[in-house]
Structure 1
């Protein structure tokens, strides 16, 4: 019984779930500031805490469904490359994993619908994009990373939909570019030898950093607030990436992917700082210790 419970928990990638919450909080911070200004954002957040929690729940459930279904569709490959995972090891039957993933997905969409029609529509599109990636998209060199990135872009927009509208929809390009880079790097987790992917990912990471810098000028904030968050974010993703390039082993590549996934929290913190100030960014950074702790207990990829 305990082994099955642990298996189901492993399927959801617990260490990654705080990153889904970070997307929502960043999107909410942008929405609150645009609608009510920095001064009133905190008060409005308190007034809408129920809706914010529902969006966080929707995001976590949808993310969990995505990684569960990913393992379901990868069960035959994992039987060869990662036989220790819950499905190929026989801890969780494949049909049970499929049902578990679909239930999580439906509950995620339902949670979003309870906030607004737009939130529900975005959650539905996110669910369909997750299915597209898991079932077919990830097998394509270019389409796979873009589809995975689109999932994160939609998740950010889901947070922005708190008040039933999304003003800065084009900001979804930032997580699309970022997760596209992380997904490219992950192509070498099993066999290594992916320096060309790492090189392209490096320039995509630079594009993300440049986008955040440009977003700072768009929002009209002082660089003093963003710089500390941006430096930590850049260091967390670029140092492991360099090590993976220098020693192009599966172990180093996995570390680079792990750093990329967890550093989503810092990326979201940068977005929050730009629109809602350093306190909003710090509130997202507080998710980092939980993610790092869980990463020591459960696999990130």
Structure 2
């Protein structure tokens, strides 16, 4: 068991980005940053990393097919070692949240429980697993806003709504890409039940919902410049979901790069919200 394996299994880029998203949530809520925001970054990064590790523990059969290079299927880390590592990461994240406030502590505890439920059961439950992932992604901004109180949560609702709906769309299309591996691993996803085409239709509807949500801040928070930036973001999100809509097979969804476009759209939305919060 190597340090490199411990590092890789946390998906460090994913964990750090999630932590920074919490800082963005606070920035959107207040227009500034304070040293205490570093606690938010640590909490979210640790809990996210713990979820990533635990997910790999329960995904071992699927990863042997889809991702044999990952630490557990490759033999670089044992299942027992990975379980213990996940517990340590969760404990560090939740314990650190005691130094914030009750709202943040509540988010930390609830999200940790959802991450555990996702790895153990929800991942193999059609649609509910996708919704859980989307909630976790969106709630990071609410968590950051919660550091500033209830008003901070309200300020982050538009970005949380965009993130939730766009993530549902992306997760559904990712499931459409991975039908073969998921079936071999015992997962039961929406594309396996209703097919790739109908799944893509649901994903496109969610993307349209994200576009509608993106215009919520125009009147009450930001104005014309935000409108221009978010318009570009919306085009990217719709293009990604639209590419998926044209597909009827997993191979087509993979080659369409629909999920990559949706990912770009979500990161672009973060950039637009960051600039809007600073101006």
Same fold (TM > 0.5)? yes
Partner of 2:216: 214
Gaps of 5+ in 1: 33-40, 279-301
Runs of 4+ in 1 over 6 A off after TM superposition: none
Mapped to 2, the partners of 1:91 and 1:126 lie a distance apart of 28
Alignment equivalent of 1:146, drawn from 123, 128, 131: 131
Alignment equivalent of 1:28, drawn from 10, 26, 29: 26
CA RMSD of aligned residues (A): 2.7
- Is residue 2:4 matched to residue 1:6? yes
- Worse-superposed segment, 159-168 or 186-195: 186-195
> Deviation at 1:157?
1.2
Q: In 1, are the aligned partners of 2:18 and 2:45 still within 8 Å (CA)?
A: yes
- Matched position secondary structure for 1:92: coil
Question: Structure 2 vs 1, CA of residues 130 and 259 (structure 1 numbering), >3 Å: closer, same or farther?
Answer: farther
Question: Structure 2 vs 1, CA of residues 271 and 190 (structure 1 numbering), >3 Å: closer, same or farther?
Answer: same
> Deviation at 1:160?
0.5
Mapped to 2, the partners of 1:242 and 1:257 lie a distance apart of 11
Q: In 1, are the aligned partners of 2:23 and 2:40 still within 8 Å (CA)?
A: no
Partner of 2:174: 186
TM-score relative to the length of structure 2: 0.81
Question: Structure 2 vs 1, CA of residues 258 and 243 (structure 1 numbering), >3 Å: closer, same or farther?
Answer: same
TM-score relative to the length of structure 1: 0.75
Partner of 1:287: none
Query: For this pair of structures, how many residues does the alignment match?
Result: 260
Alignment equivalent of 2:270, drawn from 257, 268, 276: 268
Partner of 1:234: 234
- Matched position secondary structure for 2:86: helix
Mapped to 1, the partners of 2:263 and 2:42 lie a distance apart of 19
Mapped to 1, the partners of 2:169 and 2:59 lie a distance apart of 21
Bigger relative contact order, structure 1 or 2 (CA pairs below 8 A, ≥6 apart): 1
Partner of 1:286: none
Alignment equivalent of 2:61, drawn from 67, 76, 87: 76
**Equivalence map 1:1-301=2 (5 Å):** 4-32=2-30, 41-42=31-32, 45=33, 48=34, 50-165=35-150, 166-168=152-154, 170-171=157-158, 172-191=160-179, 194-219=196-221, 221-231=222-232, 233-246=233-246, 248-250=249-251, 252-253=253-254, 255-261=257-263, 263-274=265-276, 276-278=277-279
Question: Structure 2 vs 1, CA of residues 262 and 101 (structure 1 numbering), >3 Å: closer, same or farther?
Answer: farther
Q: In 2, are the aligned partners of 1:58 and 1:111 still within 8 Å (CA)?
A: yes
- Matched position secondary structure for 1:163: coil
> Deviation at 1:10?
2.3
- Worse-superposed segment, 10-19 or 207-216: 10-19
> Deviation at 1:263?
4.2
Mapped to 2, the partners of 1:210 and 1:240 lie a distance apart of 16
> Deviation at 1:152?
1.8
